[in-house]
């Protein structure tokens, strides 16, 4: 998958609050579909659809442990998204610093 496609898939997966809640749960440790479905007022097949979206985005992986198929968080795509967002954070920090300087000048009567 191309880097921009992976970033698109990550943000698309994160756009849904159920999927974000699933990722938050998986941050605490591996869980089965049944365990992940428990807090939601939706069917297990509906939760499985969310898991497929997360899996296609590379945000989770599934393994086989005897009869269990636990899901596990894969954090690398989140780091890529965070790195992308960091560029914009730097932009806004610089903008706020310029605004602070302007406001300081106005208070001192220089502007």
For residues 35 and 22, is the Cβ–Cβ distance under 8 A? no
Run of H or E residues at 62: strand 60-62
- Model confidence over 37-91: pLDDT tens digits? 999 999 989 999 999 999 999 999 998 877 788 999 999 999 999 999 998 888 8
Closest CA to 14 of 48, 60, 46, 45: 60
Q: How many domains, the chain?
A: 1
CA neighbours within 13 Å on the CB side: how many for 98? Answer: 6
Domain coverage including residue 17: 3-107
For residues 59 and 78, is the Cβ–Cβ distance under 8 A? yes
CATH number at residue 36: 1.10.10.10
pTM: 0.78
Q: Tokens 């914009």 — which residue?
A: 88
């Amino acid at each position: 998958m191309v880097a921009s496609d992976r970033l698109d898939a990550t943000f698309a997966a994160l756009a849904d609050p159920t999927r974000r809640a699933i990722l938050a749960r998986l941050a605490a440790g591996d869980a089965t579909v049944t365990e992940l479905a428990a807090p939601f007022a939706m069917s297990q097949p509906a939760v499985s659809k969310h898991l497929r979206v997360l899996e296609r985005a590379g945000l989770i992986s599934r393994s086989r442990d005897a009869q269990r198929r636990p899901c596990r968080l894969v954090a690398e795509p989140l780091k890529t998204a965070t790195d992308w967002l960091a560029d914009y954070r730097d932009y806004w920090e610089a903008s706020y610093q310029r605004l602070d300087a302007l406001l300081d000048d106005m208070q001192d009567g220089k502007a």
